[in-house]
Structures are given as structure tokens and as C-alpha cells.
Amino acid sequence: MELSTVIFLLLAILGWGLGAFFDKACLKHMDASGAFYVRSLFMILIFSPLVAWKYAPTKQALLGSDKLGPIFVMSSVIVSMAGVFFYLKALSGGEAGRIVPLSSTYPLVTFVLALLFLGESFTVNKLAGTLLLSGGIYFISK
């Protein structure tokens, strides 16, 4: 793996870890539905200027893709935001030390779907790693 990939991965882990921390902290001050809608509002306010600033490359990406590209992007947005909503609902009713790790077992879903629909290769190492990761997360949350 290239160094830049490792750095981006570490930054993603840091961002998600801090995000989960702030999610749980905000749920002490508002309910999960309110947190979801406030999050959505802040995303619109923060990212609208960025999209406007990068309008040309955004338009190029949209127009340069085939017909399925925008459908998959929209699908990703819808299911990801639904996941965030349900994650916040679960987090509001449970301990962060349990909910966050358990919600992090989603690679198992991605692994199966990537095999079935994206034509990714199956290896015993990938299966074992995904199962060990998901199982480890389960036991950490107990």
C-alpha cells in the first residue's frame, strides 16, 4: 500500500473516530432526529459553497459519467444518510463503546455485496479477515 493511501486511511479513521465522539456528545444535548437534521443542515451550509466553487469539475463529473454514475451516487447518499439516521437513533439509546464498534461491522455487508454484484475476487484471506474483524468488533462491544 502506498504511503499516501495509508495517510488517507489514518485520517479517515481519525475523522470517523472523532465524528462518533461528537455524535455521542451532541446526543446529550438534543434527540437523534434533531441531530440528524441539524447535521444535514450544516452539511448543506458547509458544502454548498464548495460545490459552487468546484462547479465546473462537478458538472464535468456528472456529465462525463454514464447514466448509472449519478444513480449510484444518489443511492449512496440515500442509504448512507439513512445509515447515519439509524446510527444516531441507536447511539442515543446505547453506550458509544458498544454502538460504535457494532455499527463498524458494515464491511461484512460490503464484502458480500462486492462479491455478488461487483465481480470482486473471493479469497479465503479476505473472508477470514472480514469475519475476524466483524467477530472481534462484536466481542469488543460485549
Average pLDDT over residues 11-30: 90
- pLDDT, tens digit, 9 for 90 and up, residues 37-73: 999 999 999 999 999 999 999 899 989 999 999 999 9
Inter-helix orientation angle 96-103/3-26, to 10° = 140
- Domain spans, the chain: 3-94, 105-142
Per-residue confidence (pLDDT) for residue 91, from 0 to 100:
92
Tell me, yes or no, if the pTM score tops 0.85: no
Average pLDDT over residues 22-49: 94
**Are the C-beta atoms of 141 and 96 separated by less than 8 Å?**
no
- List, in order, residues 6 or more apart from 55 with CB less than 8 Å away: none
127: enclosing H helix or E strand = helix 124-140
